[in-house]
Structure 1
Amino acid sequence: MVVSQRISLVTIGAFDLPTLRNFYQSLGWEESETSSDSYAVFKTAGVLLSLFPLEELAKDAGIEFQLSTESYRPITLAINLDHPEQVDSTIDKIREANGKILREPSDAFWGGRTAYFSDPENNLWEVAWNPTAVFDERGAMISF
């Protein structure tokens, strides 16, 4: 037996669930029917993105987190797009939603276009267009 090679759910431990939920809602992201007052699940093309109170996540995992809202998390999530101009328009929408723009859109040395932002709790996101990216019919990136 092998471990299934898939990522089906990404969970961000939230310091302030209502604020973080509101940010992703302001991007126009749709929540799934499994969301509740204490848990948010957003539909994406590839995986589900969930927001779960950090203290509950730590309890569930049986560990203790040493994080603060002032520091960046040691992981980057990415939104890969179909066209280079979408990087700029996506960053404009994120700016309108009060996302913190860390790096303005620019052409990348590898031939694409990229930018970075963080959400209200300093989770890092890259917004990118990669000319070699291949997406499936749902919009999930399957290779690059």
Structure 2
Amino acid sequence: MIPQRVSLITLGAINLPKLRQFYQSFGWQETEMSSDNYCAFKTAGVILSLFPLEELEKDSGVKISRSPDTYQAVALAINVDEPNQVDSMIETIRGLGGEILREPSDAFWGGRTAYFADPENNLWEVAWNPSSVFDERGAMISF
């Protein structure tokens, strides 16, 4: 049986120092696993790691087609406790140099949502879902 969990998300970084600085500007702290060639941030539910794209290719044994000019086909999400937090987070991210792709708006499913891209065009959603439940660490356990 395969455990039903996501433990680690790794983004293949084209420019690791620039991407690392962007997430540090959120106030996110790196874990003790970080080094000059690898970066990891502990979040409420998973570890977000940044790994040089060339090293990810070596590690996985596959060639990864990636351009800094295209958006990636995966969206990560930061879910918040209150609808007004979507708006305030997007303003903070805008001030930190994140590209706002979709301004905050009410969603058809009853929540509030917005999208931004990091400096390497990884997609992020900031969302409030009125039925989301978080555990004591802030990890989403249902939505």
Match of 1:83 in 2: 82
Percentage of matched positions with identical amino acids: 69
Aligned amino acid, residue 22 of structure 1: Q
Q: In the TM superposition, what whole-angstrom CA distance separates every residue of 1:47-73 from its partner, at most 9, and x where no partner exists? A: 000000001001100000111000111
Residues in 2 aligned to 1:102 and 1:6: alpha-carbon distance in whole angstroms: 29
Match of 1:21 in 2: 20
Unpaired runs of 5+ residues, structure 2, are: none
Aligned amino acid, residue 31 of structure 1: E
Alignment of 1:83-102 (within 5 A): 83-102=82-101
Match of 1:43 in 2: 42
SS of 2:37's equivalent? coil
Match of 1:131 in 2: 130
Alpha-carbon shift at residue 5 of structure 1 (Å)? 1.0
Residues in 2 aligned to 1:13 and 1:67: alpha-carbon distance in whole angstroms: 9
Match of 1:114 in 2: 113
Q: In the TM superposition, what whole-angstrom CA distance separates every residue of 1:68-114 from its partner, at most 9, and x where no partner exists? A: 00011110000000000100111111011100000010111111000
SS of 1:60's equivalent? helix
Match of 2:60 in 1: 61
Unpaired runs of 5+ residues, structure 1, are: none
Residues in 1 aligned to 2:65 and 2:36: alpha-carbon distance in whole angstroms: 25
- Tell me the number of residue pairs that the alignment of Structure 1 and Structure 2 aligns: 143
SS of 2:87's equivalent? helix
Residues in 2 aligned to 1:59 and 1:5: alpha-carbon distance in whole angstroms: 27
SS of 1:67's equivalent? coil
Residues in 2 aligned to 1:142 and 1:54: alpha-carbon distance in whole angstroms: 31
Cα RMSD (Å): 0.5
Q: In the TM superposition, what whole-angstrom CA distance separates every residue of 1:8-52 from its partner, at most 9, and x where no partner exists? A: 100000000000000000111111111100000011100000000
Given the two structures, how large is their TM-score scaled by the length of structure 1? 0.98
